[in-house]
Amino acid sequence: MSYIKLDSSKLDKFVHENELSEMQALVNAADDELRNGTGAGNEYRDWLDLPTNYDQDEFARIQAAADKIRKDSKYLITIGIGGSYLGGQMAIEVLHSNFFTRNSDETQVIFAGNSLSSSYLSELLDLVGNDDFSINVISKSGTTTEPAIAFRVFKEKLVQKYGEKEANGRIYVTTDAKRGALKREADVNGWESFVILDGVGGRYSVLSPVGLLPIAVSGGNIDDLMHGARDAQNDLTETDVTKNDAYKYAALRNILYRKGYTTEILENYEPNLRMFSEWWKQLAGESEGKDQKGIYPSSANFTTDLHSLGQYIQEGLRNLFETVIKLDTPNEDVIVPSADKDLDGLGYLEGKSMDWVNTKAYEGVVLAHTDGGVPVMTVHMPDQKEYSLGYMIYFFEIAIAISGYLNGINPFNQPGVEAYKTNMFGLLGKPGFEEIGDELNKRL
Ligand SMILES: O=P(O)(O)OC[C@H]1O[C@H](O)[C@H](O)[C@@H](O)[C@@H]1O
C-alpha cells in the first residue's frame, strides 16, 4: 500500500478499464529489467536501495559537517548543475517557508554554478560580501564547466577572506570516489569529501550526499527524509499495477503517450512545490527523451499559471496530459476575514479557509480540463514534511525508471547531453576540440 496516493479516477474518458491490465505483462517485464538488472543501464541502479543501504559513517559525517557550517557560516554556497543541485534546492524549498531565505537567522543555502550567467555570479559575490561562508561543490564527473567556473570564483574569494588553511576547512566536496578533476583537487588540498556512488546517476542522487548535505544545512531533518524513502522502497515492490501506485502511474502515462498525449504537465497549487517540478523534469526528461521518442516533461504552477497557460491547456493542441501534485495539508492556513460591507463581493467566502478555496479551484480545474480533452491524474502529497518528501522522491524515481523501460529505452544514460558540450568546447578553444571549433566557427 502506498502512503502517497495516485488518483486516476478522472481518466475514464481517456483510458478504458481493460487497458491497464493489458499493460501488466509489460510492467512485469519492466520490473524484471529494473529489479533483476536485465535491462539496459543496469549498472546505474544503486539508488534503488540508497534509503536502506547508505553509508552510516558518511551520513554521520554529513550531519557533523552541517552542524559546523550552521555554526560558522551565514551562507553555504552550493555549487552544482543538473542532478547536482535540483534535488537539494527542491527539498529545501518544499520543506521551508516561502520566505525562508529572507527572514531567517539560519544559514542560507544558495545555489550557484547552475548557469553561465555572469550577472548571477557577480551579484552573489556582492550578496555574500564580507559575511562568513563555506562552499559545497557537487559534481559527479568533477569536470562540468558551469560549476567548475563558479567554484574557481568562490574558491578565490574564500582564500582571500580566510587564507589558504582556513579556506581548506570551509570547502566540502561531493564527487566520485576515484575519478575527476574535483577529486584530484580535493585529495591535494585535503578537503572534506563525500562520495557519489558509481551506480547513482545525477538525477537519482538527491538521497545521497548530493542532496543530504545542503538539506541538512538548511535545517531539514535528513533522518526523517530517509525514513520516508525507506518506507517507499519497502512499500512499492508489488508488480501488480492495481496495487502499486508508482507502477500504475508509469503504466498510465505510457498508455496516454501511445494515444498521442506526448506532453505531460506536472502541476502544483503551492509556490514552494515549483522546484519539485524542476527536479522531476530532469528525472523524466533525461531518463525518457531518447531514440527520438519519449514524453516531453513540462510544468505549471497553479493557480498562477491558469492566468497565463490556462487558455492553452483548456483549448490548445490536444497532446497534453496533466499530473497534479496536490498537497493535502499545507503548512499554514489563512481564514478569509469578514468585512462590514461586502463591497468586494467576497462575502460568500467569509470564514472559509484559503486552502479550501485552493482545493475548490483544483477540483474545478480538473473537471474543466477533463471536459476540454486533457487527461488529468493527481498524486496526493499528505504534507510538506521530510517523511512525505522522502516518500515522494522515491515514488517518482521508481515510477520514471519503470516508465522508461515500458517505452523500450535505457532510462539511465543521457548521451544527447554531450552534443552541446562538444560544440561549446570547440568554440571555447578547449585543447583537444580545435578541429570541431574551426568547423563550427565557419558556420557561425
Ligand atoms: O554532477 P555532474 O557530473 O557535474 O553533472 C551535472 C549534470 O550534467 C550533465 O550534463 C548531465 O546531463 C546531468 O545528468 C548531470 O546531472
Could you check whether 5-39+226-407 and 47-220 share the same CATH topology? yes
The letter for the amino acid at 91 is A
Question: Right CATH number for 5-39+226-407 from 3.10.310.30, 3.40.50.10490, 3.30.360.10, 3.40.50.300?
Answer: 3.40.50.10490
pLDDT in tens, 59-79: 999 999 999 999 999 999 999
- Where in the sequence numbering do the catalytic residues fall? 286, 421
Phi, psi of 175 (to 5 degrees): -160, -175
pLDDT in tens, 209-225: 999 999 999 999 999 99
Are 288 and 404 in contact, with CB atoms under 8 Å apart?
yes
User: Which residues contact residue 106 at a Cβ distance below 8 angstroms, ignoring those fewer than 6 apart?
Assistant: 70, 100, 218, 219
pLDDT at 34 over 90: yes
* Any ligand 1 atom below 6 A from CB of 290: no
| Model pLDDT, residue 100 | 80
Q: What is the DSSP letter of 7?
A: E
**How far from 332 is each of 91, 96, 121, 153, 355, CA to CA, in Å?**
18, 11, 34, 39, 9
pLDDT in tens, 382-425: 999 999 999 999 999 999 999 999 999 999 999 999 999 999 99
* Residue of 47, 79, 84 with the most ligand 1 atoms within 8 Å of its CB, for mutation: 84
Residue 147 CA to ligand 1 centre (angstroms):
10
97: three-class secondary structure by DSSP? coil
pLDDT at 43 over 80: yes
pLDDT at 38 over 80: yes
| Model pLDDT, residue 2 | 86
| Model pLDDT, residue 241 | 97
pLDDT in tens, 12-21: 999 999 999 9
pLDDT in tens, 91-120: 999 999 998 876 678 899 999 999 999 999
pLDDT at 350 over 90: yes
Q: What average pLDDT does the chain have? A: 97
* Any ligand 1 atom below 6 A from CB of 144: yes
Domain ranges for the chain: 5-39+226-407, 47-220
Residue 318: which H helix or E strand, with range?
Answer: none
- CB-side neighbour CA atoms (13 Å) of 18: 0
Are 209 and 62 in contact, with CB atoms under 8 Å apart?
yes
Could you tell me the three cell numbers for 343?
463591497
ipTM value: 0.99
* Any ligand 1 atom below 6 A from CB of 286: yes
410: three-class secondary structure by DSSP? coil
* Any ligand 1 atom below 6 A from CB of 193: no
Short-list 231, 206, 209, CA closest to 94 = 206
* Any ligand 1 atom below 6 A from CB of 81: yes
Pairing of strands 133-139, 171-176: parallel
Provide Rg for the chain, Cα atoms: 23
pLDDT confidence band for 276 (50 / 70 / 90): very high
Transcribe 412-432 into DSSP letters: T--GGGHHHHHHHHHHHT-TT
CATH 3.40.50.10490 fits 47-220, yes or no: yes
pLDDT in tens, 258-273: 999 999 999 999 999 9
Residue 346 CA to ligand 1 centre (angstroms):
49
Pairing of strands 171-176, 263-268: unpaired
Nearest atom (ligand 1) to Cα of 414? 12
| Model pLDDT, residue 103 | 63
